[in-house]
Amino acid sequence: MAIRILIADSHQRVRTAVVNLIRDSGENWEVCCEVEDGQAAIDKARELKPDVAILDLTMPLRDGLTASYLIHKFFPEIPIVLLSMLSSSWLEVEAKRVGIQAVVDKSNGTELIAAIRRLLQVVPTSSNAT
- Which 8-state DSSP code applies to residue 59? -
Q: What are the boundaries of each domain within the chain?
A: 3-120
pLDDT at 125: 42
pLDDT digits (tens, 9 = 90+) for 62-97: 999 999 999 999 999 999 999 998 778 888 899 999
For residue 17, the tally of other CB atoms under 10 A from its CB is 17
For residue 16, the tally of other CB atoms under 10 A from its CB is 13
**Cα(123)–Cα(64) distance, rounded to whole angstroms?**
28
DSSP per-residue codes, 70-124: HHHHH-TTS-EEEEES---HHHHHHHHHTT--EEEETT-HHHHHHHHHHHHT---
Average pLDDT over residues 94-120: 92
Q: Which of 11-20, 37-46, 101-110 is least confident?
A: 101-110
Q: Domain 3-120, what fold?
A: Rossmann fold (3.40.50)
**Cα(43)–Cα(49) distance, rounded to whole angstroms?**
10
pLDDT at 49: 96
pLDDT at residue 44 greater than cutoff 80:
yes
pLDDT at residue 105 greater than cutoff 70:
yes
pLDDT at 119: 93
